[in-house]
Amino acid sequence: MTREKAHQLRGLIEKASASLEDSEALEAVELFPAWESGKAWAAGARLRYGGELYRVLQDHTAQNDWTPDRAVSLYVRIAVPGEIPDWVQPLGAEDAYQTGDRVRHTGSIWESLVDNNVWEPGAAGTDTLWKEVSE
């Protein structure tokens, strides 16, 4: 196969991978483009960084200090089904927690009782928004 043909196929693979469900995409992280500084990323795109799959939250051009593992306003890591991620303060509707979502926070596991939940688990006044659960 020529380099030109491989480059052409890579573009087709990246287009086709966009239709995968997150659970399927997590089985083939290598299909997604690698994060690059200086590249323009569109909201909703998925990319790989550090062996993990991330979703872009807002249109931007990546910078060296805006890596997916640190720029939580720009990217959200796509969790493996069944994994309980650490709670991260949502910035808006695009990354808010939904009913049934579970997170780790303050040494406990919390389950969201409502959709579009942006409140901190266990904070005063959130007893109707989160419940503490056991694994």
Residues 13 and 66 occupy one common structural domain = yes
Can you give the pTM of this predicted structure? 0.70
Domain hosting 23: range is: 1-80
Q: Does 104 or 135 have the greater pLDDT score?
A: 104
Residues 73 and 21 occupy one common structural domain = yes
* Chain segment 28-46, per-residue pLDDT in tens: 899 899 999 999 999 999 9
Last residue of a domain, one of 65, 80, 95: 80
Tracing tokens 């491989």 back to the chain, one arrives at 6
Residues 4 and 36 occupy one common structural domain = yes
Residues 24 and 40 occupy one common structural domain = yes
Please name the residues in contact with 25: beta carbons below 8 A apart, sequence gap of 6 or more. 17, 31, 32, 46, 53, 78
Structure tokens at 59: 């249109």
Residues 73 and 90 occupy one common structural domain = no
Residues 126 and 67 occupy one common structural domain = no
Residues 63 and 121 occupy one common structural domain = no
Indicate the pLDDT class of residue 131, thresholds 50, 70 and 90: very high
* Chain segment 53-83, per-residue pLDDT in tens: 999 999 999 999 999 998 988 998 898 878 8
Q: How many structural domains comprise the chain? A: 2
Question: Rounded mean pLDDT of 98-113?
Answer: 94
Indicate the pLDDT class of residue 116, thresholds 50, 70 and 90: very high
Contact 54, 26 (CB under 8 A): no
Residues 118 and 91 occupy one common structural domain = yes
Residues 75 and 101 occupy one common structural domain = no
User: Average pLDDT, whole number, for the chain?
Assistant: 90
